[in-house]
């Protein structure tokens, strides 16, 4: 299965950014573990701090992947454009978050992605991404 992980703003700082909330591991490091764990699958990873680049990536990935795992980070709570892009494409998108956004500030409770996502996984640390991969491998 061919899956694309898209990470949004500030997730390039994982490892050093607010470690109490997001842990100590860089995403690059975690992604190597993930590829090793799912050796039979084709996993790709893209990160951008720019809203339009995330929309471009969702559009260009459409029909070229079996699934997309999207952590739009802060744009989750603000971006109608990314939400619309998720709605516009045929490839299923699973929304993930490292932290349990429902247990944090009120402004993090709103997601413009969730209404058009296949499902949402949040609060399991970086393991949220692994659970998202598994959701594509054993679909309901």
Question: Applying CB under 6 A, which residues contact ligand DQA?
Answer: 10, 71, 73-74, 76, 97-99, 101, 108
Nearest CB to ligand DQA, comparing residues 6 and 89: 6
Q: Six-digit token pair at 100?
A: 């349990």
Nearest CB to ligand DQA, comparing residues 35 and 77: 77
Count of residues in the chain: 140
- In the chain the first and final C-alpha atoms are separated, in Å, by 16
Query: What is the C-alpha to C-alpha distance for residues 47 and 72, in angstroms, rounded to an integer?
Result: 9
Catalytic residue check, 22 = yes
Q: Is 104 annotated as a binding-site member?
A: no
Q: Is 99 annotated as a binding-site member?
A: yes
Give per-residue burial for 77-113: e unless 16+ CB within 10 Å, then b.
Answer: bebeebbebbeebebbbbbbbbbebeeeeeebeebbb
Query: What is the C-alpha to C-alpha distance for residues 42 and 8, in angstroms, rounded to an integer?
Result: 21
DSSP bridge partners of 6: 46, 70
Catalytic residue check, 97 = yes
Could you tell me the smallest distance in angstroms from the CB atom of residue 117 to ligand DQA? 13
Nearest CB to ligand DQA, comparing residues 27 and 136: 27
Could you tell me the smallest distance in angstroms from the CB atom of residue 111 to ligand DQA? 9
Catalytic residue among 22, 30, 75, 129: 22
Helix (H) or strand (E) run with residue 43 in it: strand 42-47
Q: Six-digit token pair at 48?
A: 């951008």
Could you tell me the smallest distance in angstroms from the CB atom of residue 27 to ligand DQA? 10
Nearest CB to ligand DQA, comparing residues 2 and 118: 118
Catalytic residues: 22, 97
Annotated binding site: 71, 77, 84, 98-99, 108
């Amino acid at each position: 299965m061919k899956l694309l992980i898209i990470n949004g703003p500030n997730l390039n700082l994982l490892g050093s950014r607010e470690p109490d909330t997001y842990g100590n591991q860089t995403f690059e490091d975690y992604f190597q573990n993930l590829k090793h764990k799912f050796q039979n699958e084709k996993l790709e990873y893209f990160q951008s701090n720019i809203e339009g680049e995330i929309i471009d990536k969702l559009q260009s990935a459409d029909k070229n992947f079996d699934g997309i795992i999207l952590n739009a980070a802060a744009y989750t709570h603000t971006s109608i454009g990314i939400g619309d892009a998720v709605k516009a494409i045929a490839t299923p998108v699973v929304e993930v978050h490292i932290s349990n956004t429902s247990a944090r500030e009120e402004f993090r409770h709103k997601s413009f992605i969730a209404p058009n996502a296949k499902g949402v996984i949040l609060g399991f640390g970086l393991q949220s991404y692994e659970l998202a991969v598994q959701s594509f491998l054993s679909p309901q």
